[in-house]
Structure 1
């Protein structure tokens, strides 16, 4: 090799060293790819990594020896990589990044070195190539800050006539504003023309940091001039709606604070405003409070399973309710605590006329003998039990007979119901039967209620209809989202009273809420039939083909991703090694992939509907999990790490197995499948077509292996909580992994405003107009995003400046 300034001189030592280092690194990279490529090819995967690795290995040897043939071979590998990448994933940006970015870096270095390899010749070509590679890297780097995979709106929303907002409540009285679960308010003081002026109006600190087993997921309610919020450890706080100043606090002092602390919402009951109270033939008529003590009542359910009513004006317990203000919800359940409490209620109580309707949260995966999933209704005046719906014994309509319990381990209803007061029906989203991932002993009677929507007569608690979203659910695909009630066009100029049910599977079922019959087509499709010893699987599963599904496409090897081509290769190998035949691959004694996964799809945050135009706003999660059944005799049960979700083991007492859970991540701790890992989207309920979609949030505040990203790259992250839609055509959302409250234009999905939060959030925002000041507020509870180390205790209200 010649020096380029003096072709007759030998290459300087620094140049030889540069080639040696470059060639060695290139060769070692190729060797790693080739070794991994052999494993992938033997698993039936792509041969690309083996062939490309061999090419890089040979090119590295040639470069180390300063042979020009190395450049030609590397050019061939690069060209083949481009062709292979486009063949696998087309022009999709994020899937191309780990495939092409490493070769752009290699190409840049090779182009800079090339004149020394060519004996001083081809300097112009080398510089041009170096510039081209450099520009491609700069352009690619800049493109990481631009949302990709965006589906743009191509139609304008059509407003309903007459408007569907007539009669909307003035107070935010229910968890989702109204009993229909649409999370819609007709308020439009804050709109697209002035939202750039939105600012923090007040902040309140509860003093309780959501740490350990706690998550801060509360959506406050607002009655007149007071906002009511609750903490994970069951404190209730009343705040001035205009200033955030504390009016009173009530601490229920729950006995349990070690398991699963949440308070997603409160209920409100005002006896004097109930126009048509239910009449209970076997209960003495309750006194109708019209003034004085407890004329207005806050309804709370605690983490140690108590139903409490509190005077909304004073924060004192309502002494005429239950036992001095409290009802014990463990009555009739039998054993509820074996060192770890197995029963609580984490969602908002449902107050319908003069009833309080409750389900219960049951600790996942513990045993085949857990507390019942019974659903009960209590008198909102006295706390007396009005009816009970025992899913395993319809003969029990109140308390079970003396010495007996409600049927153990039935499917439960841990989320939030919706109700139609005119039809007199309450709609229950049910969970799957315990212990979640093995169901060989489940009785036929309760099977029909697992992972379903069930309509009960509110007055009697008797079943009207049931629609099941998963048959024999052994994947924890329980129905987490509150049903949303909205009337849709019937195609003949009329309306059908519909129920929209989101599921963890990413399926959206559109049902007639009078009968439970599908409005949008549902078909039964065959599913894999392999299953664990002693269990069984359904031959078919329901698919809502008449509605769009989000994130429901089966994963393939081509979907595997990574920050580099090394961890992408490992993800492809791991994917090929997994037991996976689609979303209904039954758990087995091999590592089994569950996707969309038991976090969703759509989780408890639910939908928001713009009632002006029938746009359904959605946010989803696209993070698979890996589970593995382990025979009990092979497990030291005394050292079992028994927790909840990813990273834990469910003991599943009473079955032949325990089950391990882990995330499907690359060696760098990044999800193995290509982003987005969460999206925002909208569906037009008139046309039943998806209107737009975009990644949900950025990695700015994500912490991976102790390192904070600090870059607002919009990969689209998993989300919790829901959105709230307003009469101004805005959707407010705060449950992203980065620390922002956002406002989106529901017509297009465009972000029109965002406000920085001190920590992340998981709660659904709410909005109200203060009757005293006339200002519209948007309120969000920020206690920390899921998987975030940053935790807080904030209740934050946003409003336009006073002068606006």
Structure 2
């Protein structure tokens, strides 16, 4: 090629390369000056000067332009190593794009010089860089950041015959049992043969969620009892299927519920022939009408008892099978109250809390928890967090105490201790609490143990004091018996939180089993607000995705969006987990989405391992004076303006994302982790999920790069050493070796899933099935209505 006569195509190419380089330099120069001016890294400013000079020189067809780009690449590599060390994904985002650009420029050198030696050197350099770029790209398909603690040996022990799991072949509760275990003793499917799992049958609800039409998500974990599988839908239908064929047996339609928040995470099951009378010990239970029944919560605040065999309402429960949960609640605006998670069936009681519309206004419906007679629907007791004198019906014509902390996720029950464990949220609205009372704060963001016979509190433990972050206690409490080396047993409760902390308590009295320390936290200065001087840190258990971020932790798919993330970080106030909201922009990490969300945890009693999955999405937010919020603007739980009616401030919230729509902190954005409940140590942690079905600007990348994506949904563990999980942003049901976290099987789903896998054995065929409900992921517009059952051939 003649450098003096490159031709039209050569001239065009050179101008294009020069222009792109110069524009990148201008972007880096402007953004880098901004970043340096607010105390951030000087790298981008200096790189911007070098790139702009490189582009200008190449536009003038000077070889020095290519040399200057090479200097920029070397400078970038040295800075990146100094900034983040040898961490793959942070290095990838800093060096990959400049290296790819250097490859193009190296092959462009013949347009800049006729000297043969320089041309050859540039070609060799370009080839070496190309190989390095390709190698880095190939390496990106291998999981990074895997943690395996070699000091924590996983030893399986036999499951005692006295363990209730030992003979359980059904899945009769949301967690498989009332202890939040999500464990099955079935072991036909093993790490050795799980690769042979095939789809046995697929059924359809016929009620796929319509995207962008109301806030609806399919998040149901089915129940299975005998030869029936029970599934509830976001649009308030309850359906029974045959467990061996997927054939529909019956369907009950309870109405559309509400249009503001449509969920049915689970239902409850009651068998009057085996249940103990816990409300009136020693009394017989009338089992003459619908002795086996399902408790189905509806979106408009009703609790329906359904005959498990016929699908008809149980006539002797409430009013023709229905109890109106809005009775005693005072004013309940449409969509402001419902039971979205599974009712808890404890003996002959069905216990319900309720989800209220989060964040919208003060004086919202009460957070009362109530127990009803599972046969008659009569109210047995009520726990009103705002009034300890209430024992059943409200003592005021206005109803139970309004605006109190509510229980919107699953509860647990210890029949031996006679205690029900309630994970609470905080009194709404969330981000300004200056007007909360002491009673509002007493039980907010806590685990509260109440006596099953009376509903009176036995003890409580608060995970966040005066919560102004929406750090609800989100997971169903896991009740587990730790067998100590001296032969004694400690009955523990493991609770997950949006903070990424795991609290391990003695469930008899709420005392810490693993150390929890009160530590000083940053104080805010919002007029009218007050702040807790300390917060409880669970220092004795591993923290999951709640490290304190630095500017170097900022990430992006390219250096361009990483620069904007760094500017966002340095422009915001941030002092770790408990950075209080203010009138200025503050960062919250973990954000109010988690951390550890409603999927909770599972536990394997043969290994003492607790399994948790997380999502790592920060927020940036600030309070907005109410007078400055335009009329009609604002939402409740979504991003953007949160109104908080009745308070002097609303709140502006946005996810801490780059301009390309990827989280600002470095991957992983979601993991699976195993923690030993006996030693309190992290045993392993692996990133979970790829960018195959999501990506920058919401466009699916189509590549199985295992960055580890935000997760939402529960896990399932089995005695054979398997951990099943589907709550990723890509469309797969996966099986992991539960001892080391190795992914050993996956099956492509038609859409994503937020549901919990379950497993059971058919008495008719003897087969063990694994079932998942795939209704869609919140990060994709694709929706489905698929119930898929897997079995071995």
Report the counterpart of residue 423 of structure 1 in structure 2. Answer: 417
- 3-state SS of 1:142 partner: helix
**Alignment map for 1:137-156 (pairs within 5 Å):** 137-152=133-148, 154=150, 155-156=152-153
- 3-state SS of 1:748 partner: coil
For residues 380-424 of structure 1, the C-alpha deviation after alignment (integer angstroms, 9 at most, x for no partner) is 111111111110100011111352311110000000111110000
Report the counterpart of residue 267 of structure 1 in structure 2. Answer: 268
Is 2:128 aligned against 1:125? no
User: Is 2:661–2:698's contact at 8 Å kept on the other side of the alignment?
Assistant: no
- TM-score, scaled relative to structure 1: 0.95
User: Is 2:278–2:452's contact at 8 Å kept on the other side of the alignment?
Assistant: no
User: Is 1:531–1:587's contact at 8 Å kept on the other side of the alignment?
Assistant: no
**Alignment map for 1:121-520 (pairs within 5 Å):** 121-152=117-148, 154=150, 155-160=152-157, 163=160, 166-168=163-165, 169-211=168-210, 212=213, 213-254=215-256, 256-279=257-280, 288-289=286-287, 293-337=289-333, 340-401=334-395, 403-520=397-514
Is 2:60 aligned against 1:62? no
Cα RMSD (Å): 1.9
- TM-score, scaled relative to structure 2: 0.96
Give 2:677's match in structure 1, choosing from 672, 682, 685: 685
Q: Aligned equivalents of 1:29 and 1:403: distance in 2?
A: 67
Report the counterpart of residue 525 of structure 1 in structure 2. Answer: 519
Q: Aligned equivalents of 1:421 and 1:161: distance in 2?
A: 23
Q: Aligned equivalents of 1:16 and 1:750: distance in 2?
A: 52
User: Is 2:250–2:311's contact at 8 Å kept on the other side of the alignment?
Assistant: yes
Change (3 A) 1:139 1:514: same
- Residue 664 of structure 1 deviates from its aligned partner by 1.8
- Residue 198 of structure 1 deviates from its aligned partner by 0.6
Change (3 A) 1:14 1:289: closer
**Alignment map for 1:619-658 (pairs within 5 Å):** 619-637=613-631, 639-646=632-639, 648-658=640-650
For residues 741-799 of structure 1, the C-alpha deviation after alignment (integer angstroms, 9 at most, x for no partner) is 11110011111111111111001111100111111111111110112110011111111
Gaps of at least 5 residues in structure 1 are none
User: Is 2:159–2:605's contact at 8 Å kept on the other side of the alignment?
Assistant: no
- Residue 72 of structure 1 deviates from its aligned partner by 3.6
Change (3 A) 1:787 1:162: closer
- Which has the larger displacement, 13-22 or 586-595? 13-22
- Residue 162 of structure 1 deviates from its aligned partner by 5.9
- Which has the larger displacement, 514-523 or 100-109? 100-109
- Residue 83 of structure 1 deviates from its aligned partner by 1.2
Change (3 A) 1:509 1:664: same
Q: Aligned equivalents of 1:541 and 1:706: distance in 2?
A: 37
User: Is 1:450–1:468's contact at 8 Å kept on the other side of the alignment?
Assistant: yes
Report the counterpart of residue 38 of structure 1 in structure 2. Answer: 33
Report the counterpart of residue 607 of structure 1 in structure 2. Answer: 601
User: Is 2:113–2:119's contact at 8 Å kept on the other side of the alignment?
Assistant: no
For residues 331-365 of structure 1, the C-alpha deviation after alignment (integer angstroms, 9 at most, x for no partner) is 1110111xx42110100000000011111101001
- Residue 17 of structure 1 deviates from its aligned partner by 5.0
For residues 306-337 of structure 1, the C-alpha deviation after alignment (integer angstroms, 9 at most, x for no partner) is 11111111111111111111111111110111
For residues 467-526 of structure 1, the C-alpha deviation after alignment (integer angstroms, 9 at most, x for no partner) is 111111111100111010111244533221000001111101110000101110111111
- 3-state SS of 2:674 partner: strand
Change (3 A) 1:53 1:204: same
- Residue 733 of structure 1 deviates from its aligned partner by 0.7
User: Is 1:761–1:784's contact at 8 Å kept on the other side of the alignment?
Assistant: yes
Report the counterpart of residue 100 of structure 1 in structure 2. Answer: 95
Q: Aligned equivalents of 1:91 and 1:165: distance in 2?
A: 50
Q: Aligned equivalents of 1:770 and 1:121: distance in 2?
A: 75
- Which has the larger displacement, 157-166 or 205-214? 157-166
Q: Aligned equivalents of 1:402 and 1:695: distance in 2?
A: 51
- Residue 691 of structure 1 deviates from its aligned partner by 1.4
- Which has the larger displacement, 612-621 or 589-598? 589-598
Q: Aligned equivalents of 1:758 and 1:666: distance in 2?
A: 29
Report the counterpart of residue 716 of structure 2 in structure 1. Answer: 724
User: Is 2:662–2:695's contact at 8 Å kept on the other side of the alignment?
Assistant: no
Report the counterpart of residue 22 of structure 2 in structure 1. Answer: 27
- Residue 62 of structure 1 deviates from its aligned partner by 2.3
User: Is 2:58–2:65's contact at 8 Å kept on the other side of the alignment?
Assistant: yes
Q: Aligned equivalents of 1:92 and 1:165: distance in 2?
A: 48
User: Is 1:430–1:479's contact at 8 Å kept on the other side of the alignment?
Assistant: yes
Change (3 A) 1:30 1:165: farther
Gaps of at least 5 residues in structure 2 are none
Q: Aligned equivalents of 1:687 and 1:573: distance in 2?
A: 41
Q: Aligned equivalents of 1:85 and 1:344: distance in 2?
A: 50
- Which has the larger displacement, 100-109 or 404-413? 100-109
Is 2:552 aligned against 1:558? yes
Change (3 A) 1:165 1:592: farther
Q: Aligned equivalents of 2:417 and 2:453: distance in 1?
A: 11
Q: Aligned equivalents of 1:755 and 1:443: distance in 2?
A: 51
User: Is 1:355–1:379's contact at 8 Å kept on the other side of the alignment?
Assistant: yes
User: Is 1:165–1:612's contact at 8 Å kept on the other side of the alignment?
Assistant: no
- Residue 277 of structure 1 deviates from its aligned partner by 3.9
- Residue 272 of structure 1 deviates from its aligned partner by 1.2
User: Is 2:277–2:285's contact at 8 Å kept on the other side of the alignment?
Assistant: no
Is 2:754 aligned against 1:773? no
- Residue 165 of structure 1 deviates from its aligned partner by 7.4
Give 2:567's match in structure 1, choosing from 573, 576, 579: 573
Change (3 A) 1:125 1:409: same
Q: Aligned equivalents of 1:449 and 1:127: distance in 2?
A: 69
For residues 611-638 of structure 1, the C-alpha deviation after alignment (integer angstroms, 9 at most, x for no partner) is 111111111000112222111111222x
Report the counterpart of residue 84 of structure 2 in structure 1. Answer: 89
